[in-house]
Amino acid sequence: MSDSYQSPNQYQAPKQKAGFVSLVGAGPGDPDLLTVKGYRVIQQADVVVYDRLVSQDIIDLANKDAEMIYVGKQLDFHYVPQDQINQILADKAKEGKHVVRLKGGDSFIFGRGGEELELLAEQGVSFEVIPGITAAAGATSYAGIPLTHRDHAQSVQFITGHVQKDGKEILWESLAQPNNTLVFYMGLKQSGYIQEQLLANNFDEDMPCAIIENGTRKEQKVLTGQLSELAEMAKSAKSPALIVVGSVTSLHEKLNWFQ
Ligand code: SAH
């Protein structure tokens, strides 16, 4: 174990006169999936800036004197614009405060954590990154869907289903590899398009797939079917949900332990 290792009981975010930002991944829903390090810094924070997907139980861990700032985000509706969020983090830190920026899942996986840190770096604000369990790991674990499996998949890809404003398109033809699992974030609204593109790029109609809604939460729901039914399945699913495409999804029936 390295000399710099600190046990969870000792961990303190680095104290800096100029303030400090801890970017914390809160995990996919079940509050017990927060890391011990994340738990510590939330309790120590002067300011907590949090998103819509963060569980209330985790928000409630903050010190009662902490300033709580909700900047919730939904797919097509930004409660607080991204550049304003970035600036709030920088401004609060410059007041000498320890700011915790709390995001659902992992901040570096479709969480725009990188963008927020870039502004802090440019403005000379110190920060740390505390990873979280990303939805693809958490929701599939709770659904009994192993992302890789020697008999099914030797690789896995995380893909955003959110069509970008600047028109960057997914390289659909690159997804059609054998023994591969695809996980689409933010794909519910685009499920018809995802189905169409995969079928047009060498995927079989009967490729097993799953939609995991509210993964790791009490309300978790798992729908399974085949690729030709994906858009139809999505009609009865609610956000937040992941779309998983690949033969590993067929293991849900056997390995489902949570519901
Ligand atoms: N940074 C987050 C992802 C943010 S993008 C992470 O690492 O998990 C938001 C998308 O994540 C949602 O549209 C959905 O596709 C997925 N997601 C987040 N929480 C989820 C959950 N509990 N169950 C299923 N999907 C979830």
Is 141 contained in some domain? yes
Q: Indicate whether 167 and 239 sit together in one domain.
A: yes
Considering only CA atoms, which residue is closest to atom 6 of ligand 1? 105
Query: How many structural domains compose the chain?
Result: 2
From CA 51, how far away is CA 28, in angstroms rounded?
Answer: 12
Nearest 5 degrees, angle CA 110-CA 145-CA 195?
Answer: 60
Ligand 1 pocket, residue 131 CB under 6 Å: no
Pairing of β 221-226 and β 77-78: unpaired
Considering only CA atoms, which residue is closest to atom 23 of ligand 1? 215
Ligand 1 pocket, residue 26 CB under 6 Å: no
The alpha carbon of 185 and the centre of ligand 1 are apart by a number of angstroms equal to 6
Tokens read off for 134: 């990303």
Domain boundary among 95, 130, 165: 130
Is 27 contained in some domain? yes
The alpha carbon of 62 and the centre of ligand 1 are apart by a number of angstroms equal to 22
From CA 2, how far away is CA 221, in angstroms rounded?
Answer: 41
Question: CATH no. for residue 159?
Answer: 3.30.950.10
- Which among 169, 148, 151 is positioned nearest to 159, based on CA atoms? 169
Is 66 contained in some domain? yes
Ligand 1 pocket, residue 111 CB under 6 Å: yes
Domain boundary among 110, 130, 150: 130
Exposed e or buried b per residue across 7-29, where buried means at least 16 C-beta atoms within 10 angstroms of its C-beta: eeeeeebeeeeebbbbbbbbbbb
Q: Indicate whether 118 and 172 sit together in one domain.
A: no
Can you give the pLDDT of all 259 residues of the chain as single tens digits?
A: 445 556 666 777 766 567 999 999 999 999 999 999 999 999 999 999 999 889 999 999 999 999 999 998 655 556 788 889 999 999 999 999 999 999 999 999 999 999 999 999 999 999 999 999 999 999 999 999 999 999 999 999 999 998 665 667 888 999 988 899 999 999 999 999 999 999 999 999 999 999 999 999 999 999 999 999 999 999 999 999 999 999 999 999 999 999 8
Q: Indicate whether 126 and 140 sit together in one domain.
A: no
Ligand 1 pocket, residue 139 CB under 6 Å: yes
Is 54 contained in some domain? yes
Q: How many CB atoms lie within 10 A of CB 200?
A: 11
H or E element that contains 213: strand 208-213
Q: How many CB atoms lie within 10 A of CB 91?
A: 15
Is 8 contained in some domain? no
The alpha carbon of 105 and the centre of ligand 1 are apart by a number of angstroms equal to 6
Q: Indicate whether 144 and 158 sit together in one domain.
A: yes
Q: Indicate whether 139 and 251 sit together in one domain.
A: yes
Please confirm, yes or no, whether 76 is among the known catalytic residues.
no
Whats the size of the chain, residue-wise? Answer: 259
Is 165 contained in some domain? yes
Q: Indicate whether 56 and 163 sit together in one domain.
A: no
Is 227 contained in some domain? yes
Dihedral sign from CA coordinates of 171, 110, 134, 125: positive
Question: CATH no. for residue 104?
Answer: 3.40.1010.10
Ligand 1 pocket, residue 106 CB under 6 Å: yes
Domain boundary among 130, 147, 165: 130
Q: Indicate whether 139 and 225 sit together in one domain.
A: yes
Q: Indicate whether 124 and 153 sit together in one domain.
A: no
The alpha carbon of 213 and the centre of ligand 1 are apart by a number of angstroms equal to 9
Please confirm, yes or no, whether 51 is among the known catalytic residues.
yes
Is 10 contained in some domain? no
pLDDT at 165: 58
The alpha carbon of 41 and the centre of ligand 1 are apart by a number of angstroms equal to 22
pLDDT at 1: 45
Q: Indicate whether 160 and 95 sit together in one domain.
A: no
What does each C-alpha distance from 110 to 16, 40, 94 come to in angstroms? Answer: 29, 24, 27
For the CA of 243, the closest atom of ligand 1 is 15
pLDDT at 16: 59
Q: Indicate whether 152 and 249 sit together in one domain.
A: yes
Q: Please pick, among 30, 46, 73, 106, the residue that the annotation labels catalytic.
A: 73
Q: Indicate whether 154 and 250 sit together in one domain.
A: yes
- Which among 181, 179, 175, 106 is positioned nearest to 138, based on CA atoms? 106
pLDDT at 110: 94
Query: What is the domain range of residue 124?
Result: 20-130
Q: Indicate whether 155 and 108 sit together in one domain.
A: no
| Dihedral (Cα; 227, 250, 142, 242), 10-degree rounding | -10
Ligand 1 pocket, residue 20 CB under 6 Å: no
Q: How many CB atoms lie within 10 A of CB 89?
A: 27
From CA 125, how far away is CA 208, in angstroms rounded?
Answer: 47
Per DSSP, the three-state class of 232 is: helix
Ligand 1 pocket, residue 104 CB under 6 Å: yes
